[in-house]
Amino acid sequence: MTDAVQKITEKLKAHQIEDAGLEARLILAFVLGVDENELFFACPPLNEDQEKRAEELVQKRLQHYPLCKLLGQKGFYKYDFIVSKDVLSPRPDTEILVEAAIKYAKEKGAKKILDLGTGSGCIILSVLGDVASLNGVALDSSEKAIKIAAQNAQKLGLENRVKFAKGSWFDVDIVSRLGQDFDLIVTNPPYIPTQDIADLAEEVKAHDPMQALDGGEDGMVHYKQIAKVGYQMLKKGGKIFIEGGIGQEKQIADIFVKEGFLLVDILKDYGGINRCIILKK
């Protein structure tokens, strides 16, 4: 580890920040404008401005400001996504859903994908990036999130293959507005039970939008509505890929089965948590 990386790593570690070494490299890579991997064995000297900028970032991080929101970007699947206070920070847990959706879309030669609650756009854009046959529609009730997702589409050169729609799955005209011809649907809706939000890590509850977290009293309010409208928007034989919170997979599967879906699979994330529920119409 180089001296500069080590110095920052120690500061972060002293404040119980996990992955301190990686975060130190990300901070330095950001201020130096280089790739984080370049800093494993050598770190170019920092000028005065870079030194000052790095220290400011470290100080904010020590106050539990999430690193990706400080840097304005987060690596997810194969890409760096623009993030802000207006979108949920993409989580590695969600990559399992992306991989499953890509595999299915490739096998079926799928043409149309719908993302319900797109946030930064990390799910749909990652799938579109790998499956050339696909075009997509991405819905979010947050205008500000849609703006960030549209910036990400532009950044990845996918802007001509995705339409963004501002609206809610509770809107009475949502099915007629978005259409009923989707080959697959992907969704990671808000699923934290309202009373559990106070117990979330500071990084999450103070910096991810509440609109992206709050799943209502039992965490299931959005799944119930998505099951209803999702069934109408999906083509016969199509699949829906749903992210769920820890211990929610059976409840979620039941909600969708009740609407007429068939349970296909439940996949674990890299942490061994049952994370992605896959159902078929």
Ligand X SMILES: C[S@@+](CC[C@H](N)C(=O)[O-])C[C@H]1O[C@@H](n2cnc3c(N)ncnc32)[C@H](O)[C@@H]1O
Site residues for ligand X per CB under 6 A: 88, 90, 94, 117-120, 122-123, 139-142, 145, 168-170, 188-190, 211-212
Q: Which is nearer to ligand X, 58 or 234 (CB)?
A: 234
Q: Closest distance between ligand X and the C-beta of residue 50, in Å?
A: 31
Q: Closest distance between ligand X and the C-beta of residue 190, in Å?
A: 5
Q: Closest distance between ligand X and the C-beta of residue 81, in Å?
A: 9
Q: Which is nearer to ligand X, 9 or 94 (CB)?
A: 94
Q: Which is nearer to ligand X, 9 or 120 (CB)?
A: 120
Q: Closest distance between ligand X and the C-beta of residue 16, in Å?
A: 25
Q: Which is nearer to ligand X, 21 or 209 (CB)?
A: 209
Q: Closest distance between ligand X and the C-beta of residue 47, in Å?
A: 35
Q: Which is nearer to ligand X, 88 or 137 (CB)?
A: 88
Q: Which is nearer to ligand X, 54 or 87 (CB)?
A: 87
Q: DSSP string of 216-271? A: -TTS-HHHHHHHHHHHHHEEEEEEEEEE--TT-HHHHHHHHHHTT-EEEEEEE-TT
Sign of the CA dihedral running 146, 148, 149, 153: positive
Tokens 């896959």: give the residue. 278
* Reduced 3-state DSSP string for 79-145: EEEECCCCCCCCCHHHHHHHHHHHHHHHHHCCCEEEEECCCCCHHHHHHHHHCCCCEEEEEECCHHH
Q: Closest distance between ligand X and the C-beta of residue 141, in Å?
A: 4
Rounded to 5 degrees, φ, ψ at 110 are -60, 150
In contact, 113 and 184? CB cutoff 8 Å: yes
Q: Closest distance between ligand X and the C-beta of residue 115, in Å?
A: 7
Rounded (5°) CA angle 244-250-255:
85
CB atoms within 10 A of CB 175: 16
Q: Which is nearer to ligand X, 84 or 188 (CB)?
A: 188
Scored b (16 or more CB within 10 A) or e, 212-236 reads bbbbeeebbbbbebbbbbbbebbee
